[in-house]
Structure 1
Amino acid sequence: MQQKAIEQHTLMAGILANLFMGAAGMAAYYTSQIEALFVDAYFTVISLVSGLVAISISKLSTKVSKRFPNGLFILEPIFSLVQSLLTIVLLVSALATVSWNAYKYFAYGQGKIMDVGPIIPYEIIMLLLSFSLSAYYNQQNKKINESSTMLLAETKGTLIDGIMSTGIALAALTILFINKESIFNFLRYTGDFFITFSLVLLTIRMPLQIIKRTFIEISGGTISNRHIQKIIENCLHKHLHGTLALSKCSIYKVGMSLRVDVLLNSKSVCINKKELSAAKDIILIELKKQFEYIHVAFYLD
């Protein structure tokens, strides 16, 4: 299984899609000057830039050297961590901007009517593209047993983009039918704030989840992905029998690289090294069909 090839092919497809969506989003923002649309467009731009960085890291992380004999897989969770932090900064800064604009309207009556008409068809197209791209990222990551930290980050980031496009489209459609005599007339001036505030509340959890996962990887914690854990544990239980018994299994994941530390509880006084070596070879052969970069180490209790 060429996991890196699948990862890189997927990232390249995402770059092309985000290139189109980013250009269209920035054009729509400069036409309408709606802050929520700015957030939406810049999310796409971030996805585009992060895709370019991700594909470079994907190619670099497998390179080995004397100083890094196991490769540079640590770059993958670092990339996802930085991307998620930038996402949070963007959300918070956009919320601060629209909050200030809303304050000026309610406190001093200063504001400009939102021109939402032109952005509705744009946002409908963007939400369809974003959700499709997020589903594609997710599908490709599942194809490689959810081993790519970077594809996980791209899946969540593009999903946020799709949710934002959906929220903006629905809110814009609502505002379009509000007239100046309505009690909701204030939304024609401050709808940008309520849209952005709702979207931030709805999406802020996703980058926080990515930060948690990547921090576990970087700090050397055991894996939190139950899907990967189940595959590996089932394989170990299948092949460790007879005079050897599995006492404990610790799985560590850094990017696409996996390390499995197996603690054995011997049932006999003497350890059969040939049996142990043969079991390890069989386990590695089977696991490498599922995970391209995996290492297994046996320890005796």
Structure 2
Amino acid sequence: MQKSIEQRSLTVNFIITFIVSVAGIIVYFVTDIQALLLDGFFSFISFLSAMVGIYISRISHKKTTRYPHGLHFLEPLYAIFKSILILLLLLLAFINASETALHYFLAGEGEPLLVGPILPYTLFVVTLCFALSFYNHYQNRKINFLSTILKAETKGSMIDGLQSLGAGLAFCLLYFIDLNGTFGFLHYTADFFITSISVICLLPEPVKMLHVAFIELSHGLTTDQEITEPIDDLILQHFKHVLPHINYQIVKIGMALSVKIYVENHDAELLLRILSIRPHFLEELQALYPNARASIIYI
């Protein structure tokens, strides 16, 4: 059920990001504005990653001899590669826009920006991107925010929409700036300023996504409260009478969860009591997270 929701959502991402990327690239070739190239290729990366995400979603639950618990590590690996691609794209867009601005400031040469089709393009793309981000978030909420892939797609669509909105509004201001006036230089260099601001504002999100995905891939403890709070409630419900004697950790790798319960008291009767609680706890845990496991570790 959870995998089918994830795969259906990624199919919607595949269709919408293809439409947005084609629109961005067409408008770039019409206007020759680097910020729109950044916008179009950002969407194109989302389109390609949606294809990869669909494939990973279909195979990540499969168990092999080498990976008896499944290939869930592919999901944070996907998020890592996507965040790196976004960072590289932001860097390349900044470099390309800088070259155009330097050529104008140093040589006094350049072509004024053609902003004619930007307003309708902005309205179209921003509406689609924000709607897609909300859709991804809603679908992920239906599966208790367990999908690392949908979380990456939610952030990616939001970044794409914010970037398009900021760039579109800024370029629309050129309609009101006289080409021969005091700020006429912006008709030649606005691409650089808008791209630079976009890069600075958007940079934290892929960095954060990279950090979280790396923690998952390296089996680090999850700190996502949307994941941990329901598990905390289950622990309190089932183990409340033995809480002084146990400690627990939650590790999330893709859509797979592992709850490790450490028994710190060496009393054999206490251990047997905890072991008797485990089946009921695991049953309710898997009702929320079907790929969850619970281990009792005696230390």
* TM-score normalised over the length of structure 1: 0.95
Provide the residue aligned with 1:52 in structure 2.
Answer: 51
Provide the residue aligned with 1:255 in structure 2.
Answer: 254
Q: Does 1:62 align with 2:61?
A: yes
Q: Deviations over 1:26-47 (max 9, x none)?
A: 1111111110000000111000
Shift of the alpha carbon at 1:181? Answer: 2.6
8 Å CA contact 1:117, 1:172 repeated in 2:
no
Moved more, 188-197 or 13-22: 13-22
1-structure distance, mates of 2:290, 2:211: 24
8 Å CA contact 1:245, 1:267 repeated in 2:
no
Provide the residue aligned with 1:110 in structure 2.
Answer: 109
2-structure distance, mates of 1:27, 1:79: 28
Provide the residue aligned with 1:144 in structure 2.
Answer: 143
Provide the residue aligned with 2:91 in structure 1.
Answer: 92
8 Å CA contact 1:40, 1:165 repeated in 2:
yes
> What does residue range 1-301 of structure 1 map to in structure 2 within 5 Å?
2-242=1-241, 245=244, 247-266=246-265, 268-271=267-270, 273=272, 275-301=273-299
Show structure 2 runs of 5+ residues with no match: none
Classify 1:55/1:245 alpha carbon distance in 2 versus 1 (closer, same or farther; 3 Å): same
2-structure distance, mates of 1:18, 1:90: 16
Secondary structure of the equivalent of 1:270?
Answer: helix
8 Å CA contact 2:118, 2:172 repeated in 1:
no
Moved more, 85-94 or 280-289: 280-289
Shift of the alpha carbon at 1:224? Answer: 1.8
Shift of the alpha carbon at 1:242? Answer: 4.3
Give the paired residue count: 299
1-structure distance, mates of 2:99, 2:24: 23
Moved more, 45-54 or 243-252: 243-252
Classify 1:130/1:280 alpha carbon distance in 2 versus 1 (closer, same or farther; 3 Å): same
Q: Deviations over 1:131-185 (max 9, x none)?
A: 1101111111122111111111111111111011101210121012211232110
RMSD, aligned α-carbons: 1.5
Q: What one-letter code is carried by the residue in structure 2 that aligns with 1:3?
A: Q
Q: What one-letter code is carried by the residue in structure 1 that aligns with 2:59?
A: L
Moved more, 109-118 or 242-251: 242-251
Shift of the alpha carbon at 1:243? Answer: 5.9
Q: Deviations over 1:196-249 (max 9, x none)?
A: 011111111000000000111111210020121111121011111446755211
8 Å CA contact 2:25, 2:41 repeated in 1:
yes
8 Å CA contact 1:22, 1:42 repeated in 2:
yes
Q: Deviations over 1:45-73 (max 9, x none)?
A: 00000000001001110111111111111
Secondary structure of the equivalent of 1:289?
Answer: helix
Q: What one-letter code is carried by the residue in structure 2 that aligns with 1:219?
A: S
Q: What one-letter code is carried by the residue in structure 1 that aligns with 2:30?
A: T
Q: Which runs of 4+ in 1 moved over 6 A?
A: none
Q: Deviations over 1:77-127 (max 9, x none)?
A: 011000000000000010011011101101110111100111211111101
Q: What one-letter code is carried by the residue in structure 1 that aligns with 2:289?
A: F
8 Å CA contact 1:243, 1:267 repeated in 2:
no
2-structure distance, mates of 1:94, 1:181: 28
Secondary structure of the equivalent of 2:201?
Answer: helix
Shift of the alpha carbon at 1:188? Answer: 0.2
Show structure 1 runs of 5+ residues with no match: none
